[in-house]
Chains A and B, each alone.
Chain A
Amino acid sequence: MNPLYAELRWLPRVPSDFSARLKALAGSPTPLGGELQALALHALDLNQLTRLSKAIARARGEGKSLDPLAPFRLAVLSNSTMDMIVPALEASGARHGIALETILPPYDQVAQEALIPNSMVNRSKPDAVLFAFDYRSLPLKLTLGDEEAAAAVVDGAIGYLEALRNGIKAGCNAVCIFQTFAPPAEPLFGSLDRALPGTVRSLIDRINLRLAEFVLGSGDVLLDVAGLAETVGLAEWHNPQLWNMAKFSFSDELIPLYADHVARSVAALRGKSRKVLVLDLDNTVWGGVIGDDGLDGIQIAQGDARGEAHLAVQRLALDLRQRGIVIAVSSKNTDEVAREPFEKHPEMLLKLHHIAVFQANWNDKATNIKAIAEELSLGLNSLVFLDDNPVERGLVRQLLPQVAVPELPEEPAFYARTLAAAGYFEAVTFANEDLKRAGFYQDNSKRLTLQKQVGGVDAYLASLDMTITFQPFDATGRARVVQLINKSNQYNLTTRRYTDPEVVEAENDPSVFTLQVRLADIFGDNGMISVVICRPGDTETWEVDTWLMSCRVLGRKVEHMVLRELTEHARGAGIKKILGTYKPTDRNKLVIDHYAKLGFSKIQEDDSGLTRWELLTEAEGPEAAPMKVVSLFVPTAEGSLVQEQRTADLAALRAY
């Protein structure tokens, strides 16, 4: 089975406290809808869905409020066993903001339930009736090669479905949800089955087409089960053993997927489909980091495998826009830098005029996404946020749980498929107004300036369980140090480039203080993310020669911790004053206030925008951020002794 579909891979994995949270529901303050939805927003398997549905049923039984879930009554008519699927439907409903209540009449009572006015289904006044039929419910008489007889079989099947629909309309006037039919995996002739009238495959093809036409024309809803089965594969969809044993019309492993699709359609009926796609840029819309790699360095070209993966994301975004989905951008970048590929890169499919709100700044993404929703006057529950970075996804999920944030696989080639598979933009109708919607929001497009922070970032940072590791330059880290020094553009105070031998020289010079910084968190090891070099200045002074950081860890207070470490070593070496320089380039506007934010005082500014800063080491440094600190320095005094010894040895060697 393809895990993307069978395991709902766009949803986060089930948390280890799932059972505990389920149990805690009994004593939780009402309404329970928020927590139920939060629990449902994981990749639940059939047993977990069943347990969640029991919790929903218990809450309902005790008369507890399920707000803000929207109530919806769904009757299910089927020729197969639905008892195991119904709980999955109810739990999946919660995932999509629906408090789904199902009415399931006894097995195989389809015609009676639909056609008799006071049947259980008709009396229950459902909002919708799901006709969960599979091909075995139809009298598919083989009429091999007989065009006329085949047409009669198709007419008969459609007539039967129409009659059921009319019965429901007369009995309770509910919306009818019809399913297309997944053909069996077993051929009769082989390939000829598709072409020859009257084979099962040919009959089902025609019935599906006719069904689609009749449903679309009637204002009812079509659930494309045939499409779903094609997507996962007919041989995976149908499980003859389960049909024989228990009359399951498809594999148990695909119940979560099927249930999610039913819930999507119901949510779409209730107007709960998403309307906006918010895109991260670096490594999502293009490969690479525009601020560091530059216009020529990002991967977005046709013919480049990595580039094509990101082009597929752009193409999907454009197609979505064409059907009325609004596209927005949230990127941690300097605005001009982020706009450059849209304006100048010839291979970009997305252009600035496609983007309704363009938020490129250095705020946290939760703040920016909130601003996008406000700018568009849409609720957060209208937004989908696509980002390759699990930390950003986690932050937005935690602070803005109403925003849909798909998990993404490692391989960018599967980004577009994953986003599409999640079905955030499910629609049951398509009107001309939809075509205009994206343009409507366009007119409002303007860049937002905002400084206010969404609360709770610190709490989120703490939950990341970060460990920061400091050590001086060494042979192991050298290649990465050189790479960072020569590649970092944005978070780089002086943009001084050094070659490998120059770095070795700094490494071996006892008067030079070097620092390589690594950061690990619950998502894994980010590797080396910051580099600092200090050289001796005037008496008891260090001059910060180089200070750079990877933008991937921006907003995590790494620079605060680096300064604390730096100050401590400075004090240890008897340094009283640290001097810093900001040397502006066209890429590093991000750090213009770096030293000011860290408590340095400005002592000089020249016409080029270059600024000089100082910090007295006796001053209290910035507050510690929530992370574990590992310092792999040999104690300062001893360390410098060792280094001096080595230098002395070298000198002796040369003299010899």
Chain B
Amino acid sequence: MDNVQVYARLTDIFHEVFDDDSIKVTPELSAADVDGWDSLTHIRLILTVEKAFKVKFSTSEIGKLKNVGDLVDLISAQAQPR
């Protein structure tokens, strides 16, 4: 799965999790930019990403996330080539 595919899948996930189809998912996107991205929704987002990409993040990895770019790096590091 290349970066374009990862972002496409992430875009679907963001729309689903935040119930908002207008969100543009970019590497710089962070919690400050999205309405309703609080700590709980963040966890729902992470759990959805884990399930969708069949990956598991450690607590410290999740704690260090600053923006979507970090998240994509984590996914790419773990995702099985399919």
Contacts and interface: CB of A to CB of B under 8 A. Distances in A.
Interface of A: 46-48, 50-51, 54, 81, 83-84, 241-242, 244-246, 252-253
Interface stretch (B3-11, B26-34, B39-47, B66-74): B39-47
Nearest to B15: A19
B16 A47 contact: yes
Q: Label chain B's interface by main secondary structure.
A: helix
A245 B16 contact: no
Determine which residue in B16, B17, B44, B59 has the highest number of CB atoms from chain A within 10 A of its CB, and name it.
Answer: B44
A261 to B, nearest CB: 20
A84 B39 CA distance: 11
B76 interface: no
Most buried by B among A47, A50, A51, A241: A47
A252 B59 contact: no
Top 5 closest A-B pairs, CB basis? A51-B19, A47-B16, A252-B47, A83-B40, A246-B43
8 contacts: A46-B48, A47-B44, A50-B19, A50-B44, A54-B19, A83-B40, A245-B43, A246-B43
Contacts of A245: 43, 59, 62
A84 B59 contact: no
A47 B40 contact: no
B16 A84 contact: no
Contact of A84 (B19, B40, B51, B62): B40
A47 B36 CA distance: 14
A252 B47 CA distance: 8
Contact of A47 (B17, B39, B59, B62): B17
Contacts of A47: 16-17, 44, 48
Contacts of B59: 241, 244-245
Contact of B40 (A48, A54, A241, A246): A246
Nearest to B36: A54
A165 B48 CA distance: 37
A245 B39 CA distance: 10
Given A51-B19, A241-B59, A245-B59, A46 B44 contact: yes
Most buried by A among B16, B19, B39: B19
Contacts of B16: 47-48, 51
Nearest to A23: B21
A48 B13 CA distance: 11
Given A51-B19, A245-B43, 16 more contacts: A46-B48, A47-B16, A47-B17, A48-B16, A50-B19, A51-B16, A83-B40, A84-B44, A241-B59, A244-B59, A245-B62, A246-B39, A246-B43, A252-B43, A252-B47, A253-B51
Contacts of B48: 46-47
Contacts of B47: 46, 252
A48 B39 CA distance: 19
Contacts of B17: 47
Nearest to B62: A245
A50 B16 CA distance: 9
B37 to A, nearest CB: 14
Contacts of A241: 59
Contacts of A51: 16, 19
B62 to A, nearest CB: 7
A252 B48 CA distance: 10
A391 B20 CA distance: 35
B17 to A, nearest CB: 6
Contacts of A50: 19, 44
B39 to A, nearest CB: 8
Contacts of A48: 16
Nearest to A240: B59
A449 to B, nearest CB: 51
